[in-house]
Amino acid sequence: MQHVVIGTAGHIDHGKTTLIKALTGRETDNLKEEKERGISIDLGFTFFDLPSGKRAGIIDVPGHEKFIKNMLAGVSGIDLVLMVIAADEGIMPQTREHFEILQLLNVNKGIIVITKIDLVDRDWLEMVVEDVRKEFKGTFLEDVPIHQVSSKTRIGLDDLVKDVDRLTEDVSARDIEGHFRLPVDRVFSVSGFGTVVTGTVISGKIKEGQNVQIYPSKTTCKVRGIQVHEQQVVEAEAGERCAINISNVKTNNVKRGDVISVENFMEPSLMVDCKLYYLKSASKPLENRQRVRLYHGTNEIICRVVILDKEKVNPGEEAYIQLRLEKQLTAQRKDRFVIRSYSPMHTLGGGTIIEPAAQKAKRFNEQYIKELRLKESGKTEGIIENTIKNLSGKYPQKEEILKAMGKNDDNIQNELEKLIKNKSIILLNKGDKPVYIHQDFLNDKIKTLENILKEFHRKNPLKMGMSKEEIKNKVFGSKIKQKIYDCIIELLKDENKIDLYGSFIFLRDFKVKYSEAQIKIKDNILRKFSNSGFIPPKYLELENNCNDKKNFEMVFESVVDKGDIVKVAEDCWFLAEDYERAKKIVIDFIKSNGSISLGQFRDELNTSRKYAMMLMEHFDGIRLTKRLEDKRVLY
């Protein structure tokens, strides 16, 4: 079933609340002050049944200029408007301001209702109708029906209801399949139930028992119950006004302007990038860093305007702007907004949010403005690629990409696959929790890695390469997850950018080259170890027998790196062949005898207790063996 929310708009005391009462039989002015003063101060909500059987929610907004912020909170979620004009007064200032706001919020369906016709004669009424037609010429209200009604005598109400019913057939369907979002317009407590929030569901569905989050605080709570038009339901969907009973949240922890949505989907921000239309009716240009009031959904936030592509914005002009906010906003791309002057308050303009979680931008930055144009175009593939490019350093998963896009749509898999196929985007960790990075990001990392390795090889010609851990910290940052880092290293190896030897990384075309003097030192070191068996020579002993101390240190480290000799303890190395032989002796002896003691191991190696102990503790450390009292068994 399609759901419709109707809103009123118009000047103070033009009969909006009385009209709603005549249509629905319900009073929407519930505050004591409203009843005492005879004017609407806050939003009023009710519903009525149309002849077709549809039930329409209706929002009554205040007409007084002091309460425009409440009016804005109401009209942000409506499908069509009843533009109410009193016959005895005609077009008035708030008629115009309300209508400008409706246009800025992209409300494009409505009906003009001239009320209080019982107070004027026919000639006057015809003059008012003529003025109304002139006022709305060239707008979405240009050719709509003008209904002349009296809420007091009920003249014209039946025809108005029929026209409303007809017009609801053309209302665009809401995004039911997207993520659930509800801007909060009221919060109250019900005895025995706790906190209740109300609002219009602008996308998705919400079910009883579902976990949701309150943004921008990101407080998690559970939906205990849902009401739509005073009836208990299990589920509410886009286009419906509903009341949600939420658990574990006090009324002072949620307020008008907050957004209820799915968990971990939205990202609150202190900066948003927008496309602004500055009203022709503005009295002077919009200046850079001017303080204004932002209205988005049911929220009002004070902010400053940074004009990105102009020195200033003249009345009737468009511009790219960045709004720098005094408190966090939770928005999505393509959301509509309005700005009003800080003081005295009047509407300045509005438009579309392009980047809901923006980074601080410099003015007149051509690349930044180019990216905004791409995002504004709505070409999903280009937006996704650009988003991943900006996020690559965080190694994002799909959920983080969606959040950064501010897009209420998780159906981006096809676009991701296209980008991967044309090699713009790289998929890492394909199985569990895939990560996406941009090819340009990887190319930059490859360039950095190659430069670091070239310099390392130049300074250390006998070293096999840099350790994987050192490369990780210098090139990719210590925060990268090990699994993702390993994927990147394997990818670079497969693409012949680097090679691996154990825990070392080196350039593909690099080879260790010894000079004649270094070859002699190397051969001498290996000969000493070969002749010593399981009583190996010490480092200082070898170094003291070599006259070329600088070359000796480099050569010794090189043979260790290559694995020709293996370190098992401090100042204790064995020739690789002897080390492997010792491992085989341990394994074979334990398999034959069930265990091996230190003394037995010493005798098998024909070495001292000291070296047998070093090897045995090393084998424990690599989990080849484990100690049980005074013996070792296989791990």
Q: Are residues 491 and 473 in the same domain?
A: yes
Q: What is the pLDDT of residue 41?
A: 37
Predicted confidence (pLDDT) per residue in 240-252, tens digit? 888 999 998 999 9
Burial 470-480 (b: 16+ CB within 10 A, else e): ebbeebbeeeb
Q: Are residues 319 and 331 in the same domain?
A: yes
Domain annotation covers residue 628: yes
Domain annotation covers residue 149: yes
Distance of CA 114 to the CA centre of its chain: 45
Could you give the number of structural domains in the chain? 5
Q: Which residue has the tokens 């009016």?
A: 71
Picking from 470, 490, 513, the residue at the C-terminal end of a domain is 513
Lowest-confidence segment of 72-86, 202-216, 225-239, 419-433 by average pLDDT: 72-86
Lowest-confidence segment of 195-199, 308-312, 409-413 by average pLDDT: 409-413
Tokens (6 digits) for 321: 């702007």
CATH number at residue 350: 2.40.30.10
Average pLDDT over residues 56-80: 66
Predicted confidence (pLDDT) per residue in 345-395, tens digit? 889 999 999 999 898 999 999 999 998 998 888 777 777 888 888 889 889
- pLDDT of 445 over the 80 cut: yes
Q: What is the pLDDT of residue 217?
A: 93
Q: Are residues 508 and 566 in the same domain?
A: no
Domain annotation covers residue 173: no
Q: What is the pLDDT of residue 2?
A: 58
Predicted confidence (pLDDT) per residue in 119-164, tens digit? 999 999 999 999 999 999 999 999 999 999 999 999 999 999 999 9
Lowest-confidence segment of 50-59, 171-180, 218-227, 620-629 by average pLDDT: 171-180
Q: Are residues 141 and 17 in the same domain?
A: yes
Q: What is the pLDDT of residue 509?
A: 87
Q: What is the pLDDT of residue 33?
A: 46
C-alpha 336/C-alpha 539 separation (Å) is: 73
Q: What is the pLDDT of residue 31?
A: 41
Predicted confidence (pLDDT) per residue in 269-324, tens digit? 999 999 999 999 999 999 999 999 999 988 999 999 999 999 999 999 999 999 99
Average pLDDT over residues 333-344: 90
Please state, rounded to an integer, the average pLDDT across all residues of the chain: 88
Q: Which residue in 203, 189, 202 sits closest to 245, CA to CA?
A: 189
Q: What is the pLDDT of residue 511?
A: 87
Q: Is 162 helix (H, G, I), strand (E, B) or coil?
A: helix
On whether the CB atoms of residues 608 and 535 are closer than 8 A, the answer is yes
C-alpha 111/C-alpha 140 separation (Å) is: 10
Range of the domain at 12: 4-168
The proportion of the chain whose per-residue pLDDT surpasses 90, expressed as a percent, equals: 54
Task: Considering only residues 276 and 71, tell me which one the structure prediction assigns the higher pLDDT.
Answer: 276
Q: What is the pLDDT of residue 37?
A: 40
Q: Which residues pair with 322 in a beta bridge?
A: 273, 306
Average pLDDT over residues 189-193: 87
In angstroms, the Cα distances linking 376 to 275, 307, 353, 464 are: 8, 16, 9, 50
Picking from 261, 283, 308, the residue at the C-terminal end of a domain is 261
Q: Are residues 93 and 205 in the same domain?
A: no
Q: Are residues 9 and 137 in the same domain?
A: yes
User: Could you please report the per-residue DSSP string of 447-487?
Assistant: HHHHHHHHHHHHH-TTS--EEHHHHIIIII-TTS-HHHHHH
CA torsion angle 146 295 261 228 (round to 10): -30
Q: Are residues 125 and 137 in the same domain?
A: yes
Q: 80-86 and 4-9 as β-strands: parallel, antiparallel, unpaired?
A: parallel
Q: Are residues 233 and 298 in the same domain?
A: no
Average pLDDT over residues 231-243: 88
Predicted confidence (pLDDT) per residue in 72-107, tens digit? 665 666 888 999 999 999 999 889 988 998 888 888
State the pLDDT confidence band at 263, using cuts at 50, 70 and 90: confident
Tokens (6 digits) for 491: 């990818």
Q: Are residues 340 and 328 in the same domain?
A: yes
Q: Are residues 17 and 160 in the same domain?
A: yes
Predicted confidence (pLDDT) per residue in 581-634, tens digit? 999 999 999 999 999 999 999 999 999 999 999 999 999 999 999 999 899 999
Q: Which residue has the tokens 């070296």?
A: 611
C-alpha 241/C-alpha 3 separation (Å) is: 9
Q: Are residues 283 and 367 in the same domain?
A: yes
C-alpha 312/C-alpha 81 separation (Å) is: 33
575: region left, alpha or beta (phi > 0 left; psi from -120 to 50 alpha): beta
Estimate the crossing angle of helix 576-593 against helix 609-621, to 10 degrees.
80
C-alpha 595/C-alpha 625 separation (Å) is: 10
Q: Which residue in 511, 582, 525 sits closest to 553, CA to CA?
A: 525
Q: Is 109 helix (H, G, I), strand (E, B) or coil?
A: coil
Picking from 460, 483, 513, the residue at the C-terminal end of a domain is 513
Predicted confidence (pLDDT) per residue in 530-547, tens digit? 999 899 999 998 988 888
CATH number at residue 545: 1.10.10.10
Domain annotation covers residue 203: yes
CATH number at residue 96: 3.40.50.300
Tokens (6 digits) for 118: 């019982």
DSSP 18: H
State the pLDDT confidence band at 175, using cuts at 50, 70 and 90: low
The proportion of the chain whose per-residue pLDDT surpasses 70, expressed as a percent, equals: 92
Q: Are residues 520 and 498 in the same domain?
A: no
Domain annotation covers residue 176: no
- pLDDT of 411 over the 70 cut: no
Q: Is 23 helix (H, G, I), strand (E, B) or coil?
A: helix
Q: Which residue has the tokens 């995002």?
A: 375
